[in-house]
Structure 1
């Protein structure tokens, strides 16, 4: 497989890191329906526990509507052919990237609901971190946001006749790769609802910006996981991310009981940043927004909150892959924190794009005793 011009660099796609069916394009395929917010995720906001999550009843309020309606997760948040690739690779490749971790998402969320101490670092790294990261790149708004940010590259590729239909979807892969490490290094805090009179809602984005609610000292992103549980993701430059105990790695995730006022503030934020629809367990949770729903700000808020420069994100774009390769291996104080496991035997891994015009940067991983730290600092070696 030759070089791939995706995003704003030239790279090569690793065969061994790719999911199955990474083959040449096949013609005459029916254009599939692609969910930009997982139906299995939306199903967690149903009052019913019967049947597949994608078929459970939920309440939906569309922007501009005066009343909510009952529907199923399989019927909202989807577009035909959104992730279909048209050049060089199997058309469903990108959608399959999401499906690998989506299958395990309900179980991982359930672990957080019942007992977070039972959630392994492997499940956190390979399911929850990719899920949260994907929320920044899966949406329909990504194409406009991506091309607006990379106008110079888009113009250059178009002038050279190298701008393919896959440019935006390739950009999703690049952005996804670069955000995995920042999402991993962020503070993760579970927000639990204790007042039965209030519940979290969600939207087509699956997350919202939080500046003040839930005792937040710094701006971060709230990801509602169920009506009773959300996770607050606060970007950090340095954080202890997991510890090794009793023969296994465990993620370091905090917990916080939130008030009814906190839940309401987060729901208001969810509505204010949404552009398409809101989802709730009960119709009553959407009533206030049917009367007043302010327009969202510029979509750049989705990534503007992450600390660090573009160069720092590029320098650390394989740190998640390093972690994923060692999290299931026997513990040793001599772990190779620079290694990236390309064997394909260590579980889910998204496709990798390797730069051909940059050096191999040292990772930001540090082992102190039995605790793993991730530091997203600057690295030398970028071309001037």
Structure 2
């Protein structure tokens, strides 16, 4: 087989890049270890920045998102016995976020790519990539019990946080020591219940952090801070709801309860790979960087990577201009590190650390009071949360 761009990974980065390249007339083949059903049924959080929403709409994959998603103009910070709203819409000149789950975005992208005749290979195995330092790298994989060889001009590593493509960059050519493991995790639930709030609530309490989010009018997604070694089987539904209410009670917020049909523990890590390219290999999304979920930046950073990479590949195929490809890492990493800062800042402001002292608690509360009382501080949070325009 021969194509222009071989994409390893059918997540948000890989599928969106394939879609954008198609609009330019550039061919691609996308492969993934998972089945289509697994990709479409793996439920993940989804808070889309304004730029992400605009890009999906402008490129023809936003109809269902605009119909079924929820536009949020603000968020709520709960602490010290009260709830304080950050009006992001007013603070950012009319920008907002969209609550629309990641797997729904993937469903839309897969449907659109297949309708456009894309070559998507799900459930592949034994993937091998060779020739990255040449002008014709190859991707070998097994699909349908047959060994396949894909020749291409470029390889895109978009295979998520469990990436294999990142490790194709030789030692000495990459730094992978930009890493932080956090001493806590999130206990997440999906529950059949009405919404507890019209907009997200980020709650700071002496018992630990809580996030009240939503999925639909009938299904809610919520989290509370926990130990990374927490076993979900140790937590009954009643115990979970009691913990949520105990953490929310000081602020006056309440949680709407219902049957819980999913429980999981999300680990907290920060990571950046520098550079995000080597030879004819370019990394995008979680294959190159991960962030704590507090700032809602994971999928949005993947989209930003792809936006840069699409233009770079477009310049190459339009006029054989390699300038944007050569500067891909430098351009993408500017936004990645800003996303890392915001995610770390939100995490450190809202969570209880195991070694925290009373001094640390008072400092957190002072920071929360500043963010909710100073228009300048609130604007900083709002602009980072809704996301800078894609450039």
TM-score range, shorter chain: under 0.3
TM-score normalised over the length of structure 2: 0.26
Of the two, which has the highest radius of gyration?
2
More strand by share: 2
TM-score normalised over the length of structure 1: 0.26
